[in-house]
Amino acid sequence: MFKKAFFTNSSGILCSRIFGFIRDLSMASTLGAGIYSDIFFIAFKLPNLFRRIFSEGAFTQSFLPSFIGANRKGLFTVTVFLIFFSFLIIFSICVWIFSGFFTKLLAYGFDDSIIALAKPIVAINFWYLCLIFCVNFFSSLLQYKNNFWVSAYNTTLLNISMILALFIARDKDSYTIVYFLSYGVLIGGILQILLHCYSLYKLRYFKLFIVGFKDLYRILSDKNQFVLNTLKHSLGGFFRQFFPALLGSSTAQIASFIDTLLASFLVSGSVSYLYYANRIFQLPLALFAIATSTALFPMIAKMIKNNNEEKAIALLKKGFWLLLFSLGFCVIGGIVLKNEIIWLLFERGKFIRSDTIIVANVFMAYLIGLLPFGLARIFSLWLYSFKRQTQAAKISAISLFCGVIFSLILMKPFGAVGLAIASSLGGFILFILTIRAFGFMRFINIINNKKLFILFIILLLLEFIILYFLKHFFNLGDFYAHL
């Protein structure tokens, strides 16, 4: 079951990221790394932040255990949906009305003329937040039925929609292209919802919604006290877990958001440098760490509920070694070939050689934190399965605070690269504190395999030697310099 779920998630994420890179290639070629690309990335940052937080665990990690334990699953499901969706609708209306204020919050370093250009784009993109909540709410329900393919592949529709928007607007001015791109985001969100609705219908979830609405109507009409108390108990348990989980699973995303805010105070293009580098960094993180944790969590949660801790530890052990090898290879390969990767993916059109060099260095700085961020995800599953979301949130808050301090120290001397280094340092703190909460002896038990460690080190050395030799044998640096 774990292998099937992992490969389903990985293949879906890979497909989505391929289209995501095509999207980024189109954006880099069309908008380059300048003020208009900065405007879009600022506008898309907050809804995209919430998309990553929700889709990469925060909502599912609190919703699934509560859904499993709820006596009236339909009523619980419908009530949670209505509470969140109503709040997001009201929030989005406020952003639409006071778009200038919220744009200033997102990019405080922008001057008034750029804020004026950015605020309608921010208002448009923010509506995606309502759409993506529906997507991730439905994904959580599908994961309960071990349906992972929709969650894994749905982001592909968003990327395709944005690519088509860029294609249609390719001959227009840069500001108009940003408008087209923003509406493409909304169309992609609608397509994602429709894909989930198809699977929900096939798995007969609509009957669950009907039962839930009927129970809710009973509460509102005759104030059935027994049903109301049952609902209060389920909701109380859910929200006690949700708010800590929201912070606990979103350290990397919040750190990236703060980096974007700080980058608005740096030279023009810094926001774009961070975005492009972080997009490449997120590929191995999503392809391996997020896919693994998504596959593991429902299984580990059920094992813990059934008091099968030994089986849960064995499953975590498989996840650890899988991530250690896969992410380790990505770190070495990415650092050795950083310039070549960015050149191949982005250097065309308005994205010039100087942009390539800066983004490559930012990418390398992000890669330093790939292993700690990835490994921390699977060990945090232990805390979430035992409903220790508050402890996980405290750990994330500490690592986030340290990361911000590092950012403030490093941003002036090193610019965008300094912000990426600070993010990686925060990842190491997150990993150390998570292992401490997980249990040092449990961790030793998981990593206690000298043969695998020796094999890991040997393979990484071989990878480095091979890539370094091939790179200099073909003299790729000089080859690219003459393009």
Q: Please check whether residue 396 is in contact with residue 383, taking contact to mean a CB–CB distance below 8 angstroms.
A: no
The answer to whether residues 168 and 271 belong to one domain is no
Give CA–CA dist 101/105, Å, rounded: 6
Please give the full DSSP string across 90-148, using - where no structure is assigned.
HHHHHHHHTHHHHHHHH-TTS-HHHHHHHHHHHHHHHTHHHHHHHHHHHHHHHHHTT--
At 152, phi and psi to the nearest 5?
Answer: -75, -35
Q: Please check whether residue 412 is in contact with residue 418, taking contact to mean a CB–CB distance below 8 angstroms.
A: yes
Q: What is the CA radius of gyration of the chain?
A: 23
Instruction: Using the 3D structure, point to which of 249, 279, 296 is the last residue of a domain.
Output: 249
Instruction: Report how many domains make up the chain.
Output: 2
In sequence order, the 6+-apart residues with CB closer than 8 A to the CB of 405 are none
For the chain, how far is it from start to end, CA to CA, in angstroms?
A: 48
**pLDDT value for 225:** 73
Q: Please check whether residue 446 is in contact with residue 320, taking contact to mean a CB–CB distance below 8 angstroms.
A: yes
Give CA–CA dist 180/170, Å, rounded: 10
Give CA–CA dist 220/454, Å, rounded: 64
The answer to whether residues 470 and 368 belong to one domain is yes
Q: Each residue of 292-338: pLDDT tens digit? A: 887 787 788 778 877 888 888 888 898 899 999 999 999 999 999 99
Instruction: Using the 3D structure, point to which of 249, 266, 286 is the last residue of a domain.
Output: 249
The answer to whether residues 302 and 263 belong to one domain is yes
Q: Each residue of 329-362: pLDDT tens digit? A: 999 999 999 988 888 888 777 778 888 889 999 9
CA distances from 205 to 9, 68, 85, 184, 197 (A): 22, 15, 18, 29, 9
**pLDDT value for 51:** 65
Q: What is the dihedral of CA 100, 101, 107, 113, to 10 degrees?
A: 40
Please give the full DSSP string across 130-145, using - where no structure is assigned.
HHHHHHHHHHHHHHHT
CA distances from 379 to 292, 336, 406 (A): 11, 29, 25
Q: Please check whether residue 79 is in contact with residue 227, taking contact to mean a CB–CB distance below 8 angstroms.
A: no
The answer to whether residues 4 and 52 belong to one domain is yes
- Positive/negative CA dihedral, 91, 95, 97, 101: positive
At 230, phi and psi to the nearest 5?
Answer: -60, -45
The answer to whether residues 431 and 409 belong to one domain is yes
The answer to whether residues 226 and 269 belong to one domain is no
In sequence order, the 6+-apart residues with CB closer than 8 A to the CB of 148 are 5, 8, 9, 12, 142, 294, 295
Q: Please check whether residue 453 is in contact with residue 447, taking contact to mean a CB–CB distance below 8 angstroms.
A: yes
* Residues in the chain with pLDDT values less than 50: 477-483
The answer to whether residues 47 and 8 belong to one domain is yes
Q: Which two tokens stand for residue 364?
A: 């390398």
Q: Each residue of 182-222: pLDDT tens digit? A: 999 999 999 999 998 888 888 888 888 888 888 888 787 77
Give CA–CA dist 376/255, Å, rounded: 15
Q: How many CA atoms lie within 13 A of 208 on its CB side?
A: 20
Q: What is the dihedral of CA 454, 311, 290, 323, to 10 degrees?
A: 0
**pLDDT value for 53:** 61
Q: Please check whether residue 165 is in contact with residue 180, taking contact to mean a CB–CB distance below 8 angstroms.
A: yes
Q: How many CA atoms lie within 13 A of 456 on its CB side?
A: 17
Q: CA angle 9-13-15, nearest 5°?
A: 120
Please give the full DSSP string across 250-301, using - where no structure is assigned.
-HHHHHHHHHHHHHTTSSTTHHHHHHHHHHHHHHHIIIIIIHHHHHHHHHHH
The answer to whether residues 202 and 289 belong to one domain is no
**pLDDT value for 483:** 43
CA distances from 83 to 64, 65, 67, 207, 256 (A): 17, 18, 15, 20, 28
Q: Which two tokens stand for residue 24?
A: 């980024």
Give CA–CA dist 30/173, Å, rounded: 10
Instruction: Using the 3D structure, point to which of 220, 249, 278 is the last residue of a domain.
Output: 249
**pLDDT value for 247:** 64
The answer to whether residues 303 and 423 belong to one domain is yes
Q: What percent of the chain has pLDDT over 90?
A: 22
Give CA–CA dist 56/51, Å, rounded: 8
Give CA–CA dist 34/164, Å, rounded: 22
Q: Which two tokens stand for residue 418?
A: 């300094």
The answer to whether residues 269 and 230 belong to one domain is no
Q: Please check whether residue 77 is in contact with residue 159, taking contact to mean a CB–CB distance below 8 angstroms.
A: no
Domain residues for the domain of 163 are 1-249
The answer to whether residues 233 and 271 belong to one domain is no
Give CA–CA dist 247/400, Å, rounded: 10
The answer to whether residues 208 and 336 belong to one domain is no
Q: What percent of the chain has pLDDT over 70?
A: 90
